[in-house]
Amino acid sequence: MRFVTFLLIGLFAFFSVHAQNADRTTWIEDDFSQESLSPEWLPISGTWTVDGSHAKVVGGGERFAMLYNTYIMNTKSFVIEATIEMLGGGVAFNAEHNNALKNCHVVRLVEGGVALGYMDFLGEYYETRTVAVKDLATPVSLQIYIDQENSTYSVVANTRNLSMEDLRFNSGFAGLYATGSGVTFDAFSISGQGTMDTPSFFIKSNRRQLNDLSYMAAKDDGLLIVNPVVGIAQRITSVGTYVSELSAEEEETAFRGVAADDEATYVVDAAANALRVFNAADRIQKVVSSDLNDPRDVAVDDSRIYVLDKTGIAVFDKKLSLIGRKAGGLFSNPRGIAVHGDRVYVADFGNGQVQVLGKSDFSVEQVIKDQLIHPWGVGVDPANGDVYVADPAASAVFHYDSEGNFVERIDPITIRGFISPRAVLVRDDMIYVGDFDRILGFKKGVLTIRPSLRID
């Protein structure tokens, strides 16, 4: 009975999205009728050419891709259509980057059917399902219906409804994919209702934005979250209700790390190479734009502000005067910073470790490496100094005691695991994890494969 119910719900959602997209407008279209590749296409691997009627990829290797240089947001459902001439061809969609095949879905033609899968943070491919299709003849008209309301996508090949899957990634770049040299494509298009929303023209509103969630902090009794794609920071309650937006007058912002104390909120803006300071009413109070080099994250204690950038840590007093630059040359592509007691904690992404520094002289007191691959976010339990590290490459959050000894791996296998965890925050009896396009909350001391809170 449960299977029948699920099937009926799935069919309803499948036909609903088809009905919604029956009257849609074209957002992106290329029939490859030109004599050279359109500049909007960004080849990632393989050599891509057009000959006036087809696009073709050649090269050595197992995977080839090129993505269209337009970010598609999760604000509207849409349809991807591609005409594929050979087995091995397919589409990639909702990719995080336009220059790398990572964190995206892949649907491709294989012998006897269609394979569905995804690429993870490291670019490793995982196949989730293969659907057998009898007498599948090329060329194949492949259609992918992305239903944002139900967080699913459905696959149609030559008018045959094949499968409906959960969306692992709900926004990003889309394009063509092939697993062999010589695969050709006749057409590619993306369509949806009305005008496509893009980050640079997106009208900011009281809609909570969790795309590409990479940084998070505590503020009063709620949370601060940063959406780098849209370029905004928002305040939400601890259960996810929208409260307010921290906005800048400039149209182009690249907000990253965020921190707060009783007086202000501090947000890193990589586009301005600056630290933006907001007052209690979430209004811009000051912008610090000197002595920063590609800033990544920010932390604050009772007397100082610590801004992590590409080359080290810039330390400011509460009047925003520079005290000095510290820890120069210690890190490789650092991503996250936290402070607790007399220590500073840095997620040293490129070196695969967390470095623990003393506040007095910023010398290295401890290095945490056990099980880490590419740590992004680091949080410290105010109660006991335990350290929590979000590692998207490992698809897990790791818990260490105050001396850096491994305690446990947090990985919610009950909901298909983490997607791409990058921010972790410990507050009272809760551990909050910013997992790409959702926030998962875990009760401390309770089995940590079962989240007690989910915001998406």
Task: Assess whether 219 and 188 both reside in one domain.
Answer: no
Which pLDDT score, from 0 to 100, does residue 230 have? Answer: 78
Residue 317 CB-density burial (10 A; 0-12 exposed, 13-18 middle, 19+ buried): exposed
Residue 446 has pLDDT above 80, yes or no: no
pLDDT (tens digit, 9 = 90+) per residue, 376-405?
A: 999 999 999 999 999 999 999 999 999 999
Task: Assess whether 147 and 258 both reside in one domain.
Answer: no
Task: Assess whether 192 and 209 both reside in one domain.
Answer: no
Task: Assess whether 363 and 291 both reside in one domain.
Answer: yes
Which pLDDT score, from 0 to 100, does residue 289 have? Answer: 83
Would you place residue 71 in the very low, low, confident or very high pLDDT band (cuts 50, 70, 90)? Answer: very high
Question: How much is the average pLDDT of 173-185?
Answer: 96
Residue 6 has pLDDT above 60, yes or no: no
Question: How much is the average pLDDT of 261-268?
Answer: 94
Last residue of a domain, one of 150, 181, 199: 199
The C-alpha atoms of residue 170 and residue 203 are separated, in whole angstroms, by 19
Task: Assess whether 161 and 218 both reside in one domain.
Answer: no
The C-alpha atoms of residue 192 and residue 165 are separated, in whole angstroms, by 19
pLDDT (tens digit, 9 = 90+) per residue, 190-212?
A: 999 999 987 766 656 677 888 88
Which pLDDT score, from 0 to 100, does residue 202 have? Answer: 61
Task: Assess whether 214 and 281 both reside in one domain.
Answer: yes
Least confident of 101-105, 188-192, 230-234, 335-339: 230-234
The C-alpha atoms of residue 52 and residue 33 are separated, in whole angstroms, by 4
Answer with the residue of higher pLDDT: 200 or 363. Answer: 363
Contact 112, 92 (CB under 8 A): no
Question: How much is the average pLDDT of 227-245?
Answer: 88
Output the CA torsion 146→147→152→154 (10° steps): -50
Domain count, the chain: 2
- What CATH code is carried by the domain that includes residue 405? 2.120.10.30
Contact 423, 440 (CB under 8 A): no
Task: Assess whether 172 and 24 both reside in one domain.
Answer: yes
Would you place residue 359 in the very low, low, confident or very high pLDDT band (cuts 50, 70, 90)? Answer: very high
Which pLDDT score, from 0 to 100, does residue 397 have? Answer: 96
Task: Assess whether 291 and 311 both reside in one domain.
Answer: yes
Question: How much is the average pLDDT of 127-154?
Answer: 93
Question: How much is the average pLDDT of 211-240?
Answer: 90
Contact 40, 100 (CB under 8 A): no
Contact 82, 26 (CB under 8 A): no
Last residue of a domain, one of 199, 222, 239: 199
Task: Assess whether 223 and 325 both reside in one domain.
Answer: yes
Last residue of a domain, one of 140, 171, 199: 199
Which pLDDT score, from 0 to 100, does residue 198 have? Answer: 78
Residue 433 has pLDDT above 90, yes or no: yes
Going by the DSSP 8-state scheme, the letter that residue 197 receives in this structure is: P
Half-sphere exposure of 25 (CA within 13 A, CB side): 7
Domain that holds residue 218: 204-455
Question: How much is the average pLDDT of 68-94?
Answer: 95
The C-alpha atoms of residue 50 and residue 38 are separated, in whole angstroms, by 9
Question: How much is the average pLDDT of 57-63?
Answer: 90
What are the distances in angstroms from CA 173 to CA 103, 106, 214?
10, 12, 18
Which pLDDT score, from 0 to 100, does residue 356 have? Answer: 98
Question: Closest Cα partner for 332 from 317, 314, 310?
Answer: 310
Contact 388, 409 (CB under 8 A): no
Which DSSP string corresponds to 324-391? Answer: EEESTT--SS--EEEEETTEEEEEEGGGTEEEEEETTT--EEEEE-TT-SS--EEEE-TTT--EEEEE
Which pLDDT score, from 0 to 100, does residue 103 have? Answer: 95
Output the CA torsion 419→421→424→430 (10° steps): 20
Residue 41 has pLDDT above 50, yes or no: yes
Which DSSP string corresponds to 152-178? Answer: EEEEEETTEEEEEEE-S--SBEEEEEE
- What CATH code is carried by the domain that includes residue 118? 2.60.120.560
Task: Assess whether 73 and 136 both reside in one domain.
Answer: yes
> To the nearest whole number, what is the mean pLDDT of the chain?
90
Residue 265 has pLDDT above 80, yes or no: yes
Task: Assess whether 251 and 187 both reside in one domain.
Answer: no
Least confident of 124-138, 265-279, 439-453: 439-453
Task: Assess whether 50 and 192 both reside in one domain.
Answer: yes
Which pLDDT score, from 0 to 100, does residue 201 have? Answer: 62
Which pLDDT score, from 0 to 100, does residue 115 have? Answer: 97
Contact 182, 89 (CB under 8 A): no
